[in-house]
Amino acid sequence: MSVMEGRTTSALLYLDGVHVSFDGFHAINNLSLTLEPGEMRAIIGPNGAGKTTMMDIITGKTKPDEGTVLFDGMTDLTRLDETRIAELGIGRKFQKPTVFESQTIEDNLLLALNVDHSVRGTLFWRGNGAEAERIDRVLETIRLTNARNRLAGSLSHGQKQWLEIGMLLAQDPKLLLVDEPVAGMTDVETHQTAELLKEINKEKTVMVVEHDMTFVRELGVKVTCLHEGTVLAEGTIDQVSSNERVIEVYLGR
């Protein structure tokens, strides 16, 4: 249904000529972008540049008016809904940390595991060792092992950000879309988050949207700057940050 005839690109994520407008406002304007498997990409750009809208399009929340969005070279994402896209292996962390506040940290991760998500499967679910082990591993990675039985709502802002990244890990996607992971974090936490994302990138493809230039520099990956819904500049952090237009619209003189 959504699988195209043969593979036309080696990219894991392929956006070409994407347009979206909301009531005449062009949020995304002829946006083209590719992500190779195993790559980590940082996306920067001023407010309203279309960064979050782009993630909405990739995850099926918003349907583009025009353009191609291919995952793994074969699957047309514009025809699928959020659930189907998540099942394909695209995980998303929201700008505002969104965890299940009235449930424990362990349950948050349990819900995120990519196991049977059907009504029947969850109704008759019984825990097993393999799942518990995976949860333990994620808890260790995000350093919340001691807090596993606490309610997620009682975590600090930074810890919630980490829990949400942990939920992404439990989901075990091929592609992680991470929206502003270090907003509201201390310098130490920001540094730790950069290390964590680099660790994750060893196995997975990652797209990070972030405003914090120190953090982006620390990631040390290819940077794309969006402006008015289209790509303004792309390259290393040094190339992009010395680009005249980028300085003008985003970094400031």
**149 lies in the site for another protein, by CB under 8 A:** no
Nearer to another protein, 1 or 123 (CB): 123
**61 lies in the site for another protein, by CB under 8 A:** yes
Nearer to another protein, 59 or 230 (CB): 59
The 3-class SS string of 66-119 reads EEEEEECCCEEHHHCCHHHHHHHCEEEECCCCCCCCCCEHHHHHHHHCCCCCCH
The binding track of 160-189 with respect to another protein, each residue x by CB under 8 A or -, is -------x---x------------------
Answer yes or no: are the C-beta atoms of 148 and 139 closer than 8 Å: yes
* Rg of the chain (C-alpha set): 18
What's the CA angle centered on 89, arms 164 and 127, to 5 degrees?
A: 65
**112 lies in the site for another protein, by CB under 8 A:** yes
Sign of the torsion formed by the C-alpha atoms of 113, 117, 119 and 123: negative
| Nearest-approach distance from CB 27 to another protein, in angstroms | 18
DSSP state, 248?
I
The binding track of 78-97 with respect to another protein, each residue x by CB under 8 A or -, is ---xxx--xx---xx-x---
H/E segment holding residue 32: strand 25-35
- Of 47, 102, 128, 149, which one interacts with another protein (CB under 8 A)? 102
Interface of this chain with another protein, residues 116 to 135, rule: CB under 8 A: 117-119, 122-125
Which residue type, as a one-letter code, is found at position 21?
S
**47 lies in the site for another protein, by CB under 8 A:** no
List interacting residues with another protein (CB under 8 A).
Answer: 59, 61, 81-83, 86-87, 91-92, 94, 98-103, 107, 110-112, 114, 117-119, 122-125, 146-147, 167, 171
